[in-house]
Structure 1
Amino acid sequence: MSRRKVPAGAWITGLLVGALAAVLVLSLQARKNIPAGGLAAGASAAPSVKASHPAAPKAPEHKVPAGSGTGRRVVYSVGQKRVWLVGADGKSQRTFAVWPGTVTPSKGAYSVTFRRETGTGSDGVRIENAVYFGAANAFSNAVDGSSPSPDPSLRTGAIRERAADGKAMWDFAAKGTPVQVVG
């Protein structure tokens, strides 16, 4: 009877698969925080002593800028590169970071003058959810999801948003909605 020799690669693969399975089983047990043998009578699954972990850092609060008007409006901070969608009660319903173009709008009060669902931006990028205010500025998101730094040789008033933020802006800012630009 002939004996077949098992290639070394098969042994290594088998050992690796076994080791990964063992690690998976152990990690699942550790995750449950229950010893492998189960709990002793009257024992609790909760640790008896609380671990001393530093508190997770809080996400920075982005409050609606003071002096940005009242009532339902869009607030755009040029310095913070951030937008707030503010409800009639003066509270932020949503805030998000944006990527401005090369043409910065002057501080002041505007309103949404025009909206375009799809098109091509002044930088040649396919856009959607374009919400225009002032003479040459618009909030929009790139269809491909990009948010590149604008080409400094182009004059573009595009203020780019992530796709989900662009949709939120589109749903919030109908024609005539106030837009307040702050520093």
Structure 2
Amino acid sequence: MDVRVVRGDITALDVDAIVNAANSSLLGGGGVDGAIHAAAGPALLAECRELRRARYPDGLPAGDAVATGAGKLHARWVIHTVGPNRYAGQTDRAILRSCFARSYEVARGLGAASIAFPAIGGGVYGWSAEDVARSAAEALAAAAADGASPAGPATVLLVAFSADMEQAFRNRTA
């Protein structure tokens, strides 16, 4: 697995799958979620509405992940995951780690060769850059060590939105 850290706009990346740090409604929001929905166009929202109607009437649970098409994005798929909200008292880092692990598993199931992760939980959900980077690194190390599963995405991009997040990702992937 080739893990790289980049700083930039996740919506502009040419990868098979982009991970969306979504809220449980799956219907768009602020931050990276809003940017992905805006760049993907109305097809993404339509798929998310159908997911809510058919599979997740109460919303996607924190720590889980689900895929949709990517609308107008360069990617083929958007993998939506819901991070735990520290400000709402959701302080279990295992749930944060699960966001990265489950998203990678979903990408593996789709046959994605490349995936881009944002700093899940590192924005309005209040997780520190260190917690996000450690959770990502642990989940990806476990996925790489899992010889029993079929190969997952060989290229993994950790996309930072700030210098602090970029450095935290670099420290954990060095």
Instruction: Please identify the structure whose Cα radius of gyration is greater.
Output: 1
Q: TM-score, normalised by structure 2?
A: 0.24
Q: TM-score, normalised by structure 1?
A: 0.23
Pick the structure with more helix per residue. Answer: 2
Say which structure, 1 or 2, has more relative contact order (CA 8 Å, 6+ apart): 2
Pick the structure with more strand per residue. Answer: 1
